[in-house]
Structure 1
């Protein structure tokens, strides 16, 4: 026989928000109503018991006051009027037996139950001989009571108040309160169910929209109503997340397409030269040298592209860079000197004062400077001057690379840091470059907790400004 799994023995949890809220509200309401009913019943019972005892003692005081005036002879009617509104009275004769009873009849057993307990309120519950009541036995020496059988010299009078009637009253009250609680809970259940159905309707619509998005409707978004409610704010936040995810997916698709396109060109070139060699089209040593030179160049281009992609992937993953004290003046001096060797026809000048130090990876920061100066050389006409400015201001290291080239159109400025992007006019593939230079600059600067921005105007040049946290000068 298979034993049931423990998970099947556990009670199933409510899985819907509506069910949890509904049960929680009903439990709170039930606790409040039941607590209020119990407190009311206890208060009512205590009040009735206290009222009966006070009435009993007040009647006893009137009897004592009457006896204090001396011997008295009264009939049963007069005595009953004196102790009103006591429900019962029992007259005990001189021999200790019941001589007479008036009012609501109480069995004679009350005599033995109160014997020896003079002027004490006696509470009697659950005695089979008498109903539930409280009694007060008062000694009455000198009191003569006229009864239907003659005069009786009373040794004591027992005053009684039945409490079983009050208990019935409390029981009826509890029954009515239970009915009220039940009806109230049913009405509250129906009302809360209706309110929750209306109030949680936006969540249902949000779930339907989310299902549609998961099914492939990428343009679908959660409905918002502009009322700044919790559900509206949640829908807006989720829509922002979907938008960010959609942008990320679009960027990944574009990145994969651009990377494959960039790799396709050198691969096609290499494949073409190899096909030409296999077909016997390269017969002379000069042709073979030219083919190998082209293959080597395209392989180097692919290697550079793969290295740049690998660097971007590491930076995107947030992998830590080297951290040391870096002298930006020395890096900028080396970059400008190397650029002067590469482009001897250019006027490339460095404008700097005192050394500026930052905390970071020297090789990556030098790559930033190389990319910025290299871009300025590559995408401006021959003879265009290039200026590199380095300064420290307000605890920040500021690097500016400016040129007097044709500039970048305003509609293209928002895309200059996109990967594999080139402006149509000046940044074509024919002029070299992978389209990752500025993307690498931005990623490296952000990894150093800095910022980079670019300003440009058509026919008036371009300025790229890099800001990094500066270190205080060394002692």
Structure 2
């Protein structure tokens, strides 16, 4: 089983140590190889120089015969310092035997060269570099040798130095990276500590705001954004559950009581049974409308929204008014479009807000009354105003009417109390606003304002 470090700090340290080892080792080996190549090239040049000099004075070497000392010449010879102890040797070879030699006496006999040119031979634990050349037309050959044991030792010493330096560099690099990564990874440790403190509580702490390095700062912002979305979604779910439980209790209780009445009183008249069934149908409709509104609010609270698209408000408003007129046949809708207007938003959400404003005008306006609907476009904003001729809302109560499950004290129509809350939410999601005021006819005037397509930002989720 392969060992793999679990810690990022350990992985970085090991990776850097391996990288430093490879780089330093390769660099050192290249340097050692270059030095060794230079040393051996110098030996070859020295051999060629000596061979040339010996060629010029070959008769002198033959005349002296086989000598290995420098007696009588004052410590010098005529062949480039070919004396005993100089680690060099010259041999004259004829008919497969050495007829004369001068210089270092090897500890063991050296083999005869098999061919002319440069070569390397070993004898008695010594390594010699040789250069063999033809001496004359009679077939005699000249061999110049140089002991290269010092070069071999230098190569081994340099290789050992490179190995030691490589090991030291790897250890120093690993230790340095281990300490440096502790400092570098401190922001991640702070994020980890902050993440351990995060709980399901929507009011709990956020992750620390990291500013450096940039990658960790981006990560902290992304995680905080994700955490905010999760908490928003969780808060929407909790609010939906609480609102549904609170608001559904009454209609469900009414349904249960009506069902129990029908079960215990089978002798009820047809008229009584019809009224009971009508009550059950109304409560069922109320429950359905309530759940639909709560689900819409919950999706808006959680920002579970698609990308924005261009929406022609004039066309959308014309269609919505036509459908509202069919739903509320006793109400007269008068639509005025001052100028074409396009916004970037969600068609379903905008239609939901408009439908609620139109329904409110019909339900809370005067019976057989009139609702004025107007679309205006000015200063990079689009405004939809819906005015009715009902009793209106007192100024001190208008802000509270935007809250969920709030119904006016003088309302004459049943409802869930979510209509204006839905409109307010859609206005906020579209970076707009909802303003409640008094209409010229004395009723309520609701103004739904959103930025036009030049100021809104397609695809940007609301904060």
User: Normalising by the residue count of structure 2, what TM-score does the alignment of the two structures yield?
Assistant: 0.70
1:402 CA displacement:
2.6
What is aligned with 1:5? none
Partners of 1:329 and 1:53 lie apart in 2 by 99
In the TM superposition, what are the counterparts of 1:255-270 in structure 2 within 5 Å?
A: 255-270=240-255
Partners of 2:167 and 2:219 lie apart in 1 by 37
What is aligned with 2:112? 112
Gaps of 5+ in 1: 1-9, 142-154, 319-325, 470-475
Partners of 2:342 and 2:436 lie apart in 1 by 31
What is aligned with 1:90? 90
Residue 112 of structure 1: SS of its match in structure 2? coil
What is aligned with 1:150? none
Residue 90 of structure 1: SS of its match in structure 2? strand
What is aligned with 2:207? 222
1:46 CA displacement:
0.7
What is aligned with 2:234? 249
Contact 1:91 1:101 in 2 (8 A): yes
In the TM superposition, what are the counterparts of 1:184-223 in structure 2 within 5 Å?
A: 184-213=169-198, 219-223=204-208
Partners of 2:75 and 2:226 lie apart in 1 by 92
Per-residue CA shift, 1:284-322, capped at 9, x if unaligned? 88766655543332222123334556778999597xxxx
Alignment partner of 1:402 is 2:399: no
Contact 1:386 1:401 in 2 (8 A): no
Partners of 1:440 and 1:166 lie apart in 2 by 92
Match of 1:39 among 25, 30, 42: 30
Per-residue CA shift, 1:259-304, capped at 9, x if unaligned? 2222112112233455667788x98887666555433322221233
Per-residue CA shift, 1:303-342, capped at 9, x if unaligned? 3334556778999597xxxxxxx96576345246347633
Residue 6 of structure 2: SS of its match in structure 1? coil
Partners of 1:52 and 1:380 lie apart in 2 by 114
What is aligned with 2:102? 101
1:72 CA displacement:
9.2
Which stretch of structure 1 is more off in the superposition, 302-311 or 349-358?
349-358
Which stretch of structure 1 is more off in the superposition, 47-56 or 265-274?
265-274
Residue 375 of structure 1: SS of its match in structure 2? helix
Question: Structure 1 residues 80, 222: CA separation in 2 closer, same or farther (over 3 Å shift)?
Answer: farther
Question: Structure 1 residues 12, 407: CA separation in 2 closer, same or farther (over 3 Å shift)?
Answer: farther
Contact 1:266 1:298 in 2 (8 A): yes
Gaps of 5+ in 2: 65-69, 307-313, 440-444, 454-463
1:89 CA displacement:
3.0
In the TM superposition, what are the counterparts of 1:231-380 in structure 2 within 5 Å?
A: 231-273=216-258, 291-306=276-291, 328=316, 331-332=319-320, 334-335=322-323, 337-338=325-326, 341-343=329-331, 348-352=333-337, 369-378=354-363
1:234 CA displacement:
1.3
Per-residue CA shift, 1:39-58, capped at 9, x if unaligned? 11211111111010111212
Partners of 2:370 and 2:15 lie apart in 1 by 75
Partners of 2:448 and 2:202 lie apart in 1 by 40
CA root-mean-square deviation: 5.4
Residue 181 of structure 1: SS of its match in structure 2? helix
Per-residue CA shift, 1:86-127, capped at 9, x if unaligned? 73233549895444532x32368447327x74xx4x312345
Partners of 1:354 and 1:223 lie apart in 2 by 49
What is aligned with 1:173? 158
Contact 2:113 2:132 in 1 (8 A): no
Partners of 2:29 and 2:75 lie apart in 1 by 42
Partners of 1:185 and 1:214 lie apart in 2 by 43
Alignment partner of 1:464 is 2:455: no
Question: Structure 1 residues 411, 184: CA separation in 2 closer, same or farther (over 3 Å shift)?
Answer: farther
What is aligned with 1:132? 128
User: Normalising by the residue count of structure 1, what TM-score does the alignment of the two structures yield?
Assistant: 0.68
Question: Structure 1 residues 370, 185: CA separation in 2 closer, same or farther (over 3 Å shift)?
Answer: closer
Question: Structure 1 residues 438, 31: CA separation in 2 closer, same or farther (over 3 Å shift)?
Answer: farther
Partners of 2:79 and 2:369 lie apart in 1 by 127
Contact 1:445 1:468 in 2 (8 A): no
1:130 CA displacement:
6.0
